[in-house]
């Protein structure tokens, strides 16, 4: 069994939403459109821009990139490959 300290779950989603609201975004949820499948999606809007994800925690992650690097985050410094995930021999390593 893996001892996990925090995960994307109901008890973390309100913290994510609180931070998103503090940054001045409006957040809405949508379950069905002609372009999306049947899953619940959360979208944040600010300054005419819209960001979409499948959970408030994931949405906060995307917005953190925007807040840190700006709208042109792709044209900014390239992220070195050393930051990419490395596959490990085991699925998880326990402490």
Confidence of residue 23 (pLDDT cuts 50, 70, 90): very high
Domain borders along the chain are: 10-72
| Model pTM score | 0.73
Query: CA of 13: how far to CAs of 59, 72, 92, in Å?
Result: 10, 27, 24
DSSP codes joined into one string, 2-37: ---S--SSHHHHHHHHHHHHHTT-EEEEES--SSS-
Query: CA of 24: how far to CAs of 21, 67, 75, 83, in Å?
Result: 5, 11, 24, 29
At residue 5, the pLDDT reads 84
Phi, psi (deg, nearest 5) at residue 26: -100, 145
**Would you identify the CATH topology of the domain 10-72?**
Double Stranded RNA Binding Domain (3.30.160)
- Give the DSSP H or E segment for 52: strand 49-53
Express each pLDDT in 12-22 by its tens digit: 999 999 999 99
At residue 93, the pLDDT reads 55
Express each pLDDT in 32-83 by its tens digit: 666 666 678 899 999 999 999 999 999 999 999 999 888 877 766 666 656 6
């Amino acid at each position: 069994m893996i001892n996990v300290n925090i995960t994307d779950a109901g008890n973390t989603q309100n913290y994510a939403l609180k931070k998103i609201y503090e940054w001045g975004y409006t957040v809405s949820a949508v379950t069905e459109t002609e372009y999306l499948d049947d899953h619940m999606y959360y979208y944040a809007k600010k300054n005419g821009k819209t960001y979409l994800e499948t959970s408030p925690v994931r949405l906060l992650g995307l917005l953190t990139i925007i807040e840190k690097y700006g709208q042109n985050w792709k044209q900014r410094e390239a992220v070195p490959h050393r930051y990419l995930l490395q596959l490990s021999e085991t699925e998880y390593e326990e402490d």
